[in-house]
Amino acid sequence: MKSYGYNDRISNMELFALMFVFVVGSLLTIPVGFAAGHDAWISVLIGTLVGLAINGLYVYLCHRYPHKSLVEIAHVLLGSWIGKLVGLLYAWYGFYLGCYVLRSFTDMTAAVLLPRTPTVVLGTVMITLTVWTATKGIEVVSRCSLMILVLIFVSTFIGCVLLIPDMEPANMLPILDNGWPSVLWGAGQIATVPLGETIVFAMLIPYVNRTSTVRRTVICAIGACGILLFITCFVNIFVLGEIASAQLFPSYTSFMYIAVGDFFERIEPLVFTVWIFNEFTKLSVCLLSTSIAFAQTIRSRDYRIYVLPLGLMILLLSTFLHPNQLDLVEYVKKIWPIYSIPFLIVVPVLLLVVSLFRGRGSRARLTEAEPDGIETS
């Protein structure tokens, strides 16, 4: 029987919270979707639909092969050698994404909070906490996300209400004055950067205690993220107008406009604090998924022994990725959506085609057989 280690089982509610916080971690720092300027809200709508399709694809695969991650499914469908290659690819994707998450955290923290603190010190503190949490198991990370979820809703509601006096609905006009190409490119950014990155959860779905309802949980989580993206986009455009697309931290800049009388202002530290927790959760998920994917690729029985070395490698690489935050943002906006296509679409579609070609008999045999996931006890 498959053995799960201590703190390695989560509920569907915890999965929802974990995915939601994971996606929201990108909202404050990366101005994705603003390629269309004030038409970015149209990009959000289209990008959310595409994001739902991407997530539905890998969740369907995980449902078709219960108790198996995407890496294990690749081993079953494509054989050992090609399966190992797929496993290394997804281990790299989670690792590379973690580097960008950590770099975004250090750059923004240094820019708005601790300008005299070396970024390597900030990164060391964050990666130390992340490694310690990841070794405790996915349940610990997901329980943290439940509390962060409440903070997100509270801070978003307070911020939107207090920004109403600064909103100018006329900033939305004229609609589609730049044409559809920019709108579609912005939709591609939305679908791949915040929403498509949840492909790393294909390594964590086997740890959900009721896999039969995972599809509904994932779709609801992505839908809720799309709604929050839509609200955030509207607020930024109403407050900042066309300059929203030129801001490194558009949401943070919007919250700086909050001022009620002469006594209630400068609420952005609250938003920044919530964002730090978001980045912590997102980095923890990246580290967990990378460790699990790597362990499953080399047939190791315990992913925890790889958490520390992978965390140190993430810290090292994050310091050399880009010379500054502006260069990083440009890369994420222009290169990352294209770079993500093989991981988000090509490989899952290939696995689905092979699965359908082999027929549903494979699923029946896998359901009856014992899952061979990694053992963490």
Encoded tokens for 174: 């004229």
Return the DSSP state at 375. Answer: P
On whether the CB atoms of residues 281 and 141 are closer than 8 A, the answer is: yes
pLDDT tens, residue by residue, 334-345: 888 899 999 999
Residues 189, 47: Cα–Cα separation, whole Å = 7
Q: Where are the alpha helices (DSSP H) in the chain?
A: 12-24, 40-64, 70-78, 80-112, 119-135, 138-162, 180-190, 214-240, 250-255, 268-297, 307-318, 325-334, 336-341, 347-358, 361-368
- Cβ contacts of 159 within 8 Å, gap of 6 or more: 235, 254, 255, 258, 267, 271
Residues of the chain with pLDDT under 70: 1-7, 28-35, 248, 261-265, 359-377
Q: What is the pLDDT of residue 367?
A: 44
**What digits encode the pLDDT tens for the residues 164-214?**
888 888 878 788 777 788 888 888 888 888 899 999 999 999 999 888 889
| Structural contact between residues 333 and 32, judged by C-beta atoms closer than 8 angstroms | yes
Give pTM, 2 decimals: 0.88
pLDDT of residue 28: 63
User: Which of 254, 230, 225, 267 lies closest to 39, judged by CA?
Assistant: 230
Are the C-beta atoms of 32 and 26 separated by less than 8 Å? Answer: yes
